[in-house]
Amino acid sequence: MPGKPYQSKLAPYEAELFQWLDEGLSYRTIAAELNQKYDLGVTYNAVYSFLKKRRPGRGGGRLFFEGFSPDIKDQLLKRITAEWTHDSTAIEGNTLTLGETVQVLELGLTISGKPLKDHQEVYGHARAIDLIYEMIRKKEVTAHDLFDLHRAVMQQAPIDAMNPVGAWKRDYNGTPGIKDGKSVYMEYAAPQDVSKLMERWLEDFNGMEPCTNRPDRAIASYVQAHMIFVRIHPFFDGNGRMARLLANLPVLNGGFPPVIVPIERRSEYINLLWAYENFAGTIKKGSQLLPAHPAIRMMESLLKEEWNKTVSLVEEARKLEVNRKSSD
């Protein structure tokens, strides 16, 4: 008589499975524990498939802003939005300071002497963060989600048939740099390869392991999603901001505050991206998405150092919450 399908075998142990997963055990380790404890004979692929179907949304951990009083939560999210928006747009050349970014977002002010484009970028990025929060817990991210996010990031871009907003690029793009002391130009993915490559990126992204209670896994997921995305460069513009937004989805789903690349580390961050992309070369439809290179681990180390920027904001909010409750 054929054995039970893995869904039937694993269903009685669902709570225990999620507990082990949230404790940071790998799917392979969970399968081994189950087989030793209950003699089930299941594979780690069966465990992965079962948990992915049962987990509500992608991730499942408590979100970093949950559990706060409404006003404390509101102020926490506003501060993170301002920091995230300022640093991500500043990396791309936006001239608004953090204080000016706050004034634009909170008061709707126009900063004298600063380009209208810079104001529009700030509004667009803040709107894109709202969309990222809406995408948390989605069972999967789709190309249409990416197009909506791109429209937010590029909300004031002029209409251009060759440079569409909310659609894959239709022309080649690349970046100049220095290699072995000489000026070189590196092309990103060819327009005709983007659709297939982004199908692979989405499959890889949607299949990431949950990061709940696993900060190292959260950072690794961020770097993996980010570095593959910018290597493809699927849009004519806005790819860096898109990558820094999307790469935070697994982080947020793991219950952590977002990772923010600080403007103060811009040069180091850009150099690591260049070193990696220069090593990996132009990506094609059948290319390996993320070939191993020391720049990956170096990027993880950089982001671990800087993650305290948003973690400290959450801790500050938590202390305020505790002090308020203790004084009631």
> What are the C-alpha distances in Å from 185 to residues 182, 277, 304?
10, 11, 30
Q: How far apart are the first and last CA of the chain?
A: 64
Determine if residue 272 is left, alpha or beta; phi over 0 gives left, psi from -120 to 50 gives alpha, anything else beta: alpha
Whether the CB-CB separation of 139 and 133 falls below 8 Å is answered with no
Residue type, 208: M
Whether the CB-CB separation of 316 and 322 falls below 8 Å is answered with no
Residue 285: both structure tokens together = 């439809």
Contacts (Cβ under 8 Å, ≥6 apart) of 276: 227, 231, 293, 295, 296, 299
Question: DSSP letters of 300-317?
Answer: HHHHHHHTHHHHHHHHHH
Beta strands in the chain, from DSSP E residues, in sequence order: 174-179, 182-187
Whether the CB-CB separation of 163 and 236 falls below 8 Å is answered with yes
Whether the CB-CB separation of 62 and 255 falls below 8 Å is answered with yes
- Angle between helices 27-38 and 44-54 in degrees, nearest 10: 110
Whether the CB-CB separation of 59 and 210 falls below 8 Å is answered with yes
Which residues does the annotation mark as catalytic? 233
The span from the CA of 11 to the CA of 19, in Å, is 14
